[in-house]
Structure 1
Amino acid sequence: MHWADLAGRRLAVWGFGREGRAALNALARHLPAQAVNLYCAADEVDAARAAFPGLAVHGVAPDAEALASYDVVIKSPGISAYKPELLDAQARGTRFTSGTALWFAGHPMAKTIAVTGTKGKSTTSALIAHLARSIGVRTALVGNIGLPLLEMDDDTADLWVIELSSFQTAEASGVNLGVVTSLYEEHLDWHGSRERYVDDKLKLLASSEEVLVNAMQPALLVRAADHPALHTFGDIAHWHVADGWIRRGDEDVIRADRVSAPGLHNAINACAALAALEIMGLDARAAAPALSSFAPLPHRLQPLGKRDGLDWINDSISTTPLASLAALETVGNVRTALIVGGHDRGLDWAPFVDAMRHHAPEAIVCQGRNGPRIADALEAAGVPNVYRAMDLAAAVGAARDALRGDGVVVLSPGAPSFDQFRDYAERGKRFAELAGFESDAAHILGLGIG
């Protein structure tokens, strides 16, 4: 759907987060005379009216009747495409689109790399942009990583690196290279089931001319096998990590510990980034030394520093149990207090519990809405050193008490933040404050065009 298709239609924008505001601003540029209705939260009404005078603002979620009264609704990504009221209106003729879909429709000639994955998509996206810029390519870093595409609607770049969540993958079109970093259980509340989550995530494959997938995940390889232009990373014939090196086939290119973002998983993300550049016709080997100057993303195994004899690591972006396990692996064999728990989406913690039966840290502090469920499962499995806390502040206190001034405190919740915080960034900033650090040090570098 193009902007011209919206002219003169009964039109609404649903959501007033950053994506919703970007859509309203883009509408004002493309269709200044177009009438638009906005649906937002009740506490956003005043801000919406102040920012967009004359806009018809509704401080409620639209029901099926309201949605069916429009020809087109521009929906924010966080609103599930499977809501009953949305499906009802859709069946009655209402068309739903998004900022992502409108941007792709309006930029058919843009050279694009779209990156998705349960884990690693943000770091891989940022790595691709950083490496491309290091060899002189004017590159945009946009999308789910923190800068909506429509905020860059009038800009140009030689290469667009676009992070897509599972909420957005179905909305991309004409992608030059689609990258899938990993595939695990995630966002079941939005998609409704694991099967639908996987199907939605992999819709990126169908919209991409070429695809790059993680060869270390057999199930992912099977799903991608029929693509006519399939590339892989993580296998010995291509970009992979072995014996402390990032290799291209049997060629040692750069030591894995030169990657500034810590951990084996980030070295694998670097392989994905190098492979993506190569597929796009860029000199990946010339870019590889820039891995050492990459600024790791905030809230992703972010070292905060030392306070009261303890090291503090902020991994607030962790929203799956497997991400919590990866955080422990990265920290290594030191005295560790791991803080887990948050909003409960019903994810399976059994693999985490099983891993803790064999190698538990000094303390596992379970907090937040699903904290009791995690603690119950750990204790039932005989895992030692399990602590319970009502919220993040209490969890930080319990971690301090458990380590007694010797070790590392890791916030890697394995769950979303919505039980206590607006998003993972707010949770990470609060963790930094509770640990005794400034909260404003955590921001993503390199967004936009550079």
Structure 2
Amino acid sequence: MNSPLNHSNATSPHMPSEAGATAIIGLGKTGQAVARFLLERGVVCSAFDESADACMDFPMQDNVKFELHTGPFNAELLKQYSQIIVSPGINWHHPVLQELRHANIPMYGDLELFSQQYQGDLIAITGTNGKTTTVSLINTMLDVLHGGIEAGGNIGTPMLDLIRDGQPQRVVLELSSFQIERANPIHPHWAALLNVQPDHADMHTDMAAYEAAKVQLFARQSEGDKAMLPADSHWDKLANTLVERGVFVRRFGIGSSDTLDSGVQLHDDGSWHLFWHHYDITHEIASDDVPAQGMHQHLNLAVAAQAAADHGLTASVIRQSLTSFRGLPHRLQSLGIVKGREWFNDSKATNPDAAKAALTSFNQVVWICGGLRKGLDVMPLQSAVSNHVEHMFIIGTEANPFVKLAESSGVSYKFVKTIEQAVKQAAQLQNGVPVLLSPAAASQDQFKNYMQRGDAFAAAVQALEMDKHNE
């Protein structure tokens, strides 16, 4: 039998029910995992969420005290707790949290709890774009090893749920900058930084702070550990620092397998190949043989292939995984050919850099774009739009920046507001150019999240298919 939460309004300060209690800020997916983890270990805790719609049916054991406070965060009340655990969706620079830090209240996120408890082989992946694809393929490939592997963090299962009932032999974590910055440096034995691109401007003070949070992933790596970094020179200083500590540093990117550990390279016959290394031996596979599309996705797969090779998987197993991996929903996902053209759902492209990677994967494309920009400038997309976009359909509430982008790029456009209208009008174009939803913006102006936006796009395309059958 589940006991109901004790509910109160956080605007009325009172002492926690027991000394030494822990406050959990945010009772979303991560916050609930933190609560489960602590309560099962006998730690007294309460949850705080500014939303009145915060979870009210959190499963509880009988006779367990667990209070939920909704409404604006109250610093005086929170100061009564011995420690505070902040969910990644809560702004780390929230004024109340800043006040609590100034009061020297210990404050961190779920990654700190995980790192204190987990003793197995930890693989960690961070980056602005591509984390989920990379982690998913690593999880699929390494699951064939003795003892298998568990995946979690910013993907799927909250990381603390992975260790509720024991210690998995291996864990691969997808880590956001928010999770990394809210913990003392962790110690992954194999870690990769995929990229750092403008995003989350609303949650970090500046790009330097955003990059610093990502780089903290490598702070405790030492002799015998492996680090994977992008090939561009911006990361040379970090690579040299890690090498001096005895870390084996790998580099990946678009280039030659003679100089890079993994990546994508162009052969003399004009074909592209994805490659990785097992010791000094280069292994590769033709990009055309990989179902997941897009150069940026192939780079992510190359990183995953290198991780698999470093953990002992044979080249044949890695090739089999690459040729069977069809990518993930909402990430340059083909929805098939409808009305004489192919439709691609890339709703996960919530920033301009992600959209640029998608656009440059095509010769020409009809582009559906727009949404909540989060302060990011879309004008750096001008070259990609000029060279790869035939027509733009603009959706969302922030149309003007995309209109200016279209006009400066010399591309025809139409502001249609909704995805449904964009799909209907794109289907009426006479050419057979593919249609790409790659918004270059967040979704919260019209949708709950990028997944709901992608599902709406897929439903609109499916409706075209149904209309075709009814003709």
TM-score between both structures, scaled by the size of structure 1:
0.86
- 1:329 and 1:95 mapped to 2: Cα distance? 46
Residue pair 1:16, 1:40 contacting (<8 A) in 2 also = no
1:307-358 residue CA offsets vs partner (Å, 9 max, x unmatched): 333322111111121211221222x235x2211111121112222023323x
Residue pair 2:334, 2:344 contacting (<8 A) in 1 also = yes
Q: Does 1:113 align with 2:113?
A: no
* Structure 2, gaps ≥5 residues long: 1-17, 465-471
Which residue number in structure 2 is paired with residue 323 of structure 1?
A: 354
- 1:372 and 1:394 mapped to 2: Cα distance? 18
Which residue number in structure 2 is paired with residue 369 of structure 1?
A: 397
Q: Does 1:100 align with 2:111?
A: yes
What does residue range 344-363 of structure 1 map to in structure 2 within 5 Å?
344-357=373-386, 359-363=387-391
Which residue number in structure 2 is paired with residue 3 of structure 1?
A: none
Q: Which moved more, 1:120-129 or 1:263-272?
A: 263-272
Q: Does 1:266 align with 2:297?
A: yes
TM-score between both structures, scaled by the size of structure 2:
0.83
Which of 203, 226, 250 pairs up with 1:231? 250
Which residue number in structure 1 is paired with residue 10 of structure 2?
A: none
Residue pair 1:205, 1:224 contacting (<8 A) in 2 also = no
Q: Secondary structure at the match of 1:36?
A: strand
1:57-90 residue CA offsets vs partner (Å, 9 max, x unmatched): 2221314334333221121101121222211111
- 2:235 and 2:348 mapped to 1: Cα distance? 23
Which residue number in structure 1 is paired with residue 96 of structure 2?
A: 85
For residues 258 and 156 of structure 1, do their structure 2 counterparts lie closer, same or farther at Cα, with a shift above 3 Å needed?
A: farther
Residue pair 2:231, 2:251 contacting (<8 A) in 1 also = no
Following superposition, the deviation at residue 198 of structure 1 comes to 0.8
- 2:307 and 2:229 mapped to 1: Cα distance? 12
For residues 300 and 382 of structure 1, do their structure 2 counterparts lie closer, same or farther at Cα, with a shift above 3 Å needed?
A: closer
- 1:367 and 1:421 mapped to 2: Cα distance? 12
What does residue range 13-412 of structure 1 map to in structure 2 within 5 Å?
13-31=24-42, 34-44=44-54, 46-48=56-58, 55-107=66-118, 109-134=119-144, 138-153=148-163, 154-170=165-181, 171=183, 173-209=186-222, 210-227=225-242, 228=245, 229=247, 230-234=249-253, 236=257, 237=259, 238-242=261-265, 243=267, 244-247=272-275, 248=277, 251-283=282-314, 286-330=317-361, 332-334=362-364, 336-357=365-386, 359-379=387-407, 381-401=408-428, 403-404=429-430, 406-412=432-438
- 1:49 and 1:126 mapped to 2: Cα distance? 29
- 1:39 and 1:350 mapped to 2: Cα distance? 37
Residue pair 2:124, 2:188 contacting (<8 A) in 1 also = yes
- 2:61 and 2:410 mapped to 1: Cα distance? 53
- 2:316 and 2:300 mapped to 1: Cα distance? 15
AA matched with 1:253: E
Following superposition, the deviation at residue 189 of structure 1 comes to 0.6
Q: Secondary structure at the match of 2:177?
A: coil
- 2:60 and 2:173 mapped to 1: Cα distance? 31
- 2:463 and 2:66 mapped to 1: Cα distance? 41
Which residue number in structure 1 is paired with residue 7 of structure 2?
A: none
Higher helix share: 1
Q: Secondary structure at the match of 1:150?
A: helix
1:93-121 residue CA offsets vs partner (Å, 9 max, x unmatched): 222122222111111x2101100011221
AA matched with 1:413: P
The aligned length equals 425
Matched-pair identity in %: 28
- 1:404 and 1:147 mapped to 2: Cα distance? 44
- 1:37 and 1:265 mapped to 2: Cα distance? 39
For residues 21 and 45 of structure 1, do their structure 2 counterparts lie closer, same or farther at Cα, with a shift above 3 Å needed?
A: closer
- 1:288 and 1:181 mapped to 2: Cα distance? 21
Following superposition, the deviation at residue 437 of structure 1 comes to 6.2
Residue pair 1:366, 1:388 contacting (<8 A) in 2 also = yes
Q: Secondary structure at the match of 1:69?
A: coil
- 1:159 and 1:10 mapped to 2: Cα distance? 31
For residues 85 and 289 of structure 1, do their structure 2 counterparts lie closer, same or farther at Cα, with a shift above 3 Å needed?
A: same
- 2:134 and 2:252 mapped to 1: Cα distance? 12
For residues 435 and 405 of structure 1, do their structure 2 counterparts lie closer, same or farther at Cα, with a shift above 3 Å needed?
A: farther
Which residue number in structure 1 is paired with residue 442 of structure 2?
A: 416
- 1:195 and 1:26 mapped to 2: Cα distance? 33
1:254-295 residue CA offsets vs partner (Å, 9 max, x unmatched): 222232311222222122112223334554564333211224
Residue pair 2:360, 2:384 contacting (<8 A) in 1 also = no
Q: Secondary structure at the match of 1:352?
A: helix
Residue pair 1:72, 1:94 contacting (<8 A) in 2 also = yes
AA matched with 1:117: G
* Structure 1, gaps ≥5 residues long: 1-6, 439-450
Higher RCO, 1 vs 2 (CA within 8 Å, ≥6 residues apart): 1
- 2:65 and 2:410 mapped to 1: Cα distance? 59
Across the aligned residues of Structure 1 and Structure 2, the Cα RMSD in angstroms comes to 2.6
Residue pair 1:312, 1:410 contacting (<8 A) in 2 also = yes
Following superposition, the deviation at residue 14 of structure 1 comes to 1.2
For residues 155 and 258 of structure 1, do their structure 2 counterparts lie closer, same or farther at Cα, with a shift above 3 Å needed?
A: farther
